[in-house]
């Protein structure tokens, strides 16, 4: 039904794709993604594994009477960085879904 050579070739192709995907995943995890809030008042650096590595807040945004604004800016910056991780992951790994029939 299935030729032995065809099955071996298919397995080699799958292994090759799997190795390439692992390499791309390692590159993603080694990349830092930086999200910013408006006017660069808050910068969040997220690693490719989605861990928060750094958070920078400019002093002019800190207002003890308006903590909610600071919280909003932090959320914006972190979410932007996380979206960059997602977008890069889709771009780098998405090309393999067709090859694997996913």
Return the sign of the alpha-carbon dihedral for residues 49, 51, 53, 57: positive
The residues that bridge with 43 in the sheet, in sequence order, are 36, 56
26-76 tens-digit pLDDT: 999 999 999 999 999 999 999 999 999 999 999 998 999 999 999 999 999
What predicted TM-score, i.e. pTM, was given to this entire model? Answer: 0.77
């Amino acid at each position: 039904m299935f030729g032995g050579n065809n099955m071996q070739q298919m397995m080699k192709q799958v292994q090759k794709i799997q190795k390439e995907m692992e390499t791309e995943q390692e590159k993603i995890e080694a990349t830092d993604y930086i999200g910013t809030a408006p006017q660069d008042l808050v910068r969040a650096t997220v690693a490719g594994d989605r861990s928060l590595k750094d958070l920078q807040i400019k002093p002019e945004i800190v207002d003890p009477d308006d903590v909610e604004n600071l919280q909003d800016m932090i959320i914006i910056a972190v979410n932007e960085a996380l979206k960059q991780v997602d977008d890069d992951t889709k771009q780098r790994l998405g090309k393999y879904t067709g090859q694997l029939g996913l």
